[in-house]
Structure 1
């Protein structure tokens, strides 16, 4: 469907070459200031074009603050070029969504990727910017994503055989800022690696080819206790959100797949007291869990990685078949990104913000309902969280 979230609910609309794209956001708390800047700029290394989009807020705000009612936002598609896609009337593009959309609905958008286009994500970014603003103002939450690899070029951080993850990588996750990320044209905050990535992308563009890669995201200062048991565990909802982004093919949280190669004696996160916290909150010494245990946040940094495949549309002749099964050659035209990974960084960040915002509203509703009841004095101390003890 085209909606995501339960209490903070985002509904997007629009195809790649229709008149406009946008979203309706419901569940935004009242009196929240709107972000001054909704979009982070696209990365020129990752694309052949720059798209300057103006978001027009249609409802739900007055005098720069939210009213608590649904917020409608729209972006006009100014640079439409549907004639660039006439060849897809005959051929479904390899690894694209032309064939599957037609099979599902019996009809498809005549140009571009339709709803499978990254153009659809503009509505997500606009909605996520509102969530980010609230989370920062109310809880000090910081969300930063960065490019970790492009094709064969990756951050050069290595770890010893007995290390789950290397210290250099973990230090980057802990301390990296958006300013450091946006300083690099590839959005990789490691200048030497960024230069290699940039050249690799330009080489792929010269060959009319494309590259995939990975984006790492960290969420800092996230409140304790977010995430629901069983089916809506936080990592499950994050995976849902991330794998709904176009071109994604993989997701891992914390130590991820590398963690599976270690025994529990080396992979467990031992608890320690936090002397700076007055409510006796515990911290962990390692955080291989990526800030989530049992599907619920434990107060540590949440970090995860998302894999993006190479863009399916390339300006090379490809041997394929027409919709009616006749062998032929497809040579696409138009403006095609050789690598979407740098462009995906803001999408990953804002989808993470939407998830945390929705989970936070759910937890706050539960806590507010419980706060109306008289305190229970019959429970043993071990059944009550230290911060809640009277």
Structure 2
């Protein structure tokens, strides 16, 4: 199977299946000298592990990470960093009754159509458990970016019809509720909505929003490697994601040019909101940020804003129509341990994939100017 590696200079290859012995990742291209311990990665994995609330699967996994290579005396060596998380609570028997049935909303049929074979135990590589490797790699990328003054903050913006308004967002309360919403009252409303879904043997989707602060102007390329294109590919590669927006996204289609443009102005000396642009170009400010921090595929120095639309969890106990592998009509009601909503656990996955895309873009950008190479090797 190809397609398990993301990134050019800072890259991650994930491996493992939901019901195999372990899940892991190999991160290549991380510079030597980055302070790194298992605890740095564990903080991220703890945000996505199951069993944190009644709105996540009851699968009991500690998701304890081990670093196998690439770190010596607390710092990266410049060689590949290999990490592993062992699966502890597989119940493959839960899936034996559906091994010849295609689950609606899952990748069962499409996998079979491509490979002529599928791992029916939780979906194999298409399982959300594959994201463990992404999150572990994203934790390393985020720590690298932090040394450059770049921070990422992701949270649940909406669950079903319950959306936190822009003027109600409080980033300080994201970790204070199990849904990772930036407002406690809307978290309560979303919880009530989820209770209704669960009573109906149904599930819910939602929106994850990610803010990236501190990115200097000039990151990304103008054609196929646009920064927003790279971010979109990274986020869309997450199994539950069905749409990505940068800035105003689809709402920009309803605006006029005068409304959508972000006018520039030069701030007062000493009050520049962003890092100085490369060379002698003065760093401007913008009176709005409809573009979400990216113009022409290149960062403009303002906050990068992206959103991911997460589909409802396809595993529901309500009876649904489907077919068998040998072409017979049937019905299915999925039992076992499944999330009624995947959005809260997807928050850190979106944040991690954004970190990976940005770390790679930052490293690729180092060769954009001759002066950058000259400064590096002369010094």
TM-score by length of structure 2 reads: 0.90
1:21-58 deviations in Å (ceiling 9; x for gaps): 00000000100011533224345253132532111111
- Give the SS at the match of 2:47: coil
- Give the SS at the match of 1:319: strand
Report what 2:66 is aligned to: 56
Counterpart CA distance in 2 for 1:372 and 1:252 is 34
Question: 1:45·1:198 contact (CA, 8 Å) conserved in 2?
Answer: no
Report what 1:91 is aligned to: 101
Counterpart CA distance in 1 for 2:139 and 2:54 is 23
Report what 1:114 is aligned to: 124
Report what 1:381 is aligned to: none
In structure 1, stretches of 5+ residues that fail to align are 158-165, 375-390
Counterparts of residues 289-300 of structure 1 (less than 5 Å): 289-300=291-302
Question: 2:209·2:307 contact (CA, 8 Å) conserved in 1?
Answer: yes
User: Is structure 2 residue 237 aligned with structure 1 residue 248?
Assistant: no
1:43-99 deviations in Å (ceiling 9; x for gaps): 525313253211111100011110000010010010111001112212110110011
Question: 1:214·1:306 contact (CA, 8 Å) conserved in 2?
Answer: yes
Report what 1:382 is aligned to: none
Question: 2:173·2:184 contact (CA, 8 Å) conserved in 1?
Answer: no
Q: CA deviation at 1:370?
A: 3.0
Report what 2:322 is aligned to: 320
2:183 to 185, 190, 199: 190
1:80 to 90, 93, 103: 90
Counterpart CA distance in 1 for 2:78 and 2:293 is 30
Question: 2:46·2:63 contact (CA, 8 Å) conserved in 1?
Answer: no
1:201-257 deviations in Å (ceiling 9; x for gaps): 233223321111111110000122111121111111111011110111111110111
Counterpart CA distance in 1 for 2:324 and 2:149 is 53
User: Is structure 2 residue 138 aligned with structure 1 residue 128?
Assistant: yes
Counterpart CA distance in 1 for 2:215 and 2:173 is 21
Report what 2:363 is aligned to: 361
Question: 1:44·1:185 contact (CA, 8 Å) conserved in 2?
Answer: yes
Task: Give structure 1 regions of 4+ aligned residues with deviation exceeding 4 angstroms.
Answer: none
Report what 1:41 is aligned to: 47
Counterparts of residues 155-170 of structure 1 (less than 5 Å): 155=164, 157=165, 168=167
Counterpart CA distance in 2 for 1:372 and 1:154 is 46
In structure 2, stretches of 5+ residues that fail to align are none
Counterpart CA distance in 2 for 1:247 and 1:181 is 21
Report what 1:163 is aligned to: none
Give the 3 Å change call, closer, same or farther, for CA 40–284 of structure 1 in structure 2.
Answer: farther
Counterpart CA distance in 2 for 1:84 and 1:365 is 51
1:183-208 deviations in Å (ceiling 9; x for gaps): 12111111111001112223322332
Question: 2:61·2:87 contact (CA, 8 Å) conserved in 1?
Answer: no
Q: CA deviation at 1:373?
A: 5.0
Question: 2:367·2:373 contact (CA, 8 Å) conserved in 1?
Answer: no
Question: 1:88·1:111 contact (CA, 8 Å) conserved in 2?
Answer: no
Counterpart CA distance in 2 for 1:216 and 1:333 is 31
- Give the SS at the match of 1:41: helix
User: Is structure 2 residue 161 aligned with structure 1 residue 181?
Assistant: no
- Give the SS at the match of 2:25: strand
Deviates more, 1:216-225 or 1:273-282: 273-282
Counterpart CA distance in 1 for 2:372 and 2:30 is 22
TM-score by length of structure 1 reads: 0.88
Q: CA deviation at 1:330?
A: 1.3
